[in-house]
């Protein structure tokens, strides 16, 4: 009788172990050897950088960088689970472990570095303005003081305009960049301001071909980094992957493929670990 109880208990324990193993396997099973996955945060609504297309694919420079890094970490493209990383959610997503890393026009700032770690930078962007292709009236930030300017509600770019760059500009805050683009096309506004990389992504879209151009003002420095959880060993591994991406020219190919149509005067690949102030 005693032996039977022990056997029953062992059977229950074995069943639980098998169930746990099965659950673990199904969670990470993607058809690759080992069934491993990596979860990466990107923007879903920024053409040229991070965009989820209607057919469910993901495109853009950040996507290309993240895919390359994942490959260097031992993951195939099919091993990647993409997750939308909205600006306000990025630190929380990393701290909670919702994602392994984030590549989403994520500027490295002292305030953010208190909460998360950054690999990179992998792109040096600048705040700029997008204007109509035939507009040559904006040569410097001070020229914006007499213009109707559009940015997105709550953005750092809008704050910079109000505080220092062009405090006398007629600034209009819209809910999204697409609304600003419509206003720019219809001449309701004179210029749209945000990071030049984001502006280039929009200008490169086939629907806007030849309609807009960047003024090339370079009003601020925005060092895009890959965010990881504070203290994560991934930081060093991602830095090595980024260094390789620059060295083997994959970085250059990705920039040209995503920003070329907008004639974006991008900066050379930044030195990994060197944040430009």
The 10s digit of each residue's pLDDT in 252-273 is 999 999 887 667 888 999 999 9
Q: Give residue 35's pLDDT band: very low, low, confident or very high (50, 70, 90).
A: low
Express as a percent the part of the chain with pLDDT over 70.
86
The reported pLDDT for the residue numbered 10 is 43
Whether the predicted pLDDT of 15 surpasses 90:
no
Nearest to 221 by CA among 240, 200, 203, 197: 197
The reported pLDDT for the residue numbered 206 is 83
The reported pLDDT for the residue numbered 13 is 42
CB 99 within 8 A of CB 179: no
Higher-pLDDT residue of 190, 17: 190
Higher-pLDDT residue of 99, 87: 99
Whether the predicted pLDDT of 91 surpasses 70:
yes
Domains located in the chain, CATH noted: 37-125+222-262 (3.40.190.10), 127-214 (3.40.190.10)
Three-state SS at 257: helix
Q: For the segment 44-58, what is each residue's pLDDT rounded down to a tens digit?
A: 989 999 999 999 999
Whether the predicted pLDDT of 1 surpasses 80:
no
Joined tokens for residue 236: 């060093």
Express as a percent the part of the chain with pLDDT over 90.
71
What average pLDDT is seen over the chain?
87
Span 203-213, mean pLDDT?
86
Whether the predicted pLDDT of 133 surpasses 80:
yes
Q: For the segment 135-174, what is each residue's pLDDT rounded down to a tens digit?
A: 999 999 999 999 999 998 767 788 889 999 999 999 998 8
Higher-pLDDT residue of 101, 207: 101
Q: What are phi and psi of 128, to 5 degrees?
A: -145, -175
Three-state SS at 42: strand
Q: What are phi and psi of 77, to 5 degrees?
A: -60, -35
Span 64-76, mean pLDDT?
98
Q: What distance in Å separates the CA atoms of residue 66 and residue 226, rounded to the nearest whole number?
A: 9
The reported pLDDT for the residue numbered 239 is 98
Cis peptide bond N-terminal to 143, omega within 30:
no
pTM for the model? 0.79
């Amino acid at each position: 009788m005693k032996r039977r109880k022990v056997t029953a208990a062992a059977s229950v324990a074995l069943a639980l172990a098998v169930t746990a193993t099965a659950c673990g396997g199904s969670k990470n099973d993607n058809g690759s050897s080992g069934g491993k996955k990596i979860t990466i945060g990107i923007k879903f609504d920024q053409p040229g950088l991070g965009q989820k297309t209607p057919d469910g694919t993901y495109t853009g420079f950040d996507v290309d960088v993240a895919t390359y890094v994942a490959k260097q970490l031992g993951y195939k493209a099919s091993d990647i689970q993409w997750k939308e990383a909205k600006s306000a959610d990025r630190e929380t997503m990393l701290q909670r472990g919702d994602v392994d890393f984030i590549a989403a026009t994520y500027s490295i700032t002292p305030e953010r570095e208190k909460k998360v770690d950054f690999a990179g930078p992998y792109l040096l962007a600048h705040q700029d303005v997008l204007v109509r292709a035939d507009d040559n009236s904006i040569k410097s930030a001070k020229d914006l003081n007499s213009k109707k300017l559009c940015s997105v509600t709550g953005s750092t770019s809008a704050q910079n305009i109000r505080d220092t760059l062009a405090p006398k500009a007629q600034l209009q805050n819209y809910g999204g960049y697409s609304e600003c683009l419509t206003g720019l096309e219809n001449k309701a506004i004179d210029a749209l301001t945000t990071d030049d990389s984001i502006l280039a992504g929009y200008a490169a879209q086939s629907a806007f071909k030849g309609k807009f151009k960047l003024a090339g003002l370079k009003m601020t420095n925005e060092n895009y980094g890959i965010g990881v959880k504070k203290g994560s060993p991934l930081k060093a591994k991602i830095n090595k992957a980024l260094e390789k991406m620059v060295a083997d020219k994959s970085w250059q190919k990705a920039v040209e493929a995503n920003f070329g149509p907008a004639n974006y005067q991008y900066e050379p690949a930044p030195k990994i670990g060197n944040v430009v102030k």
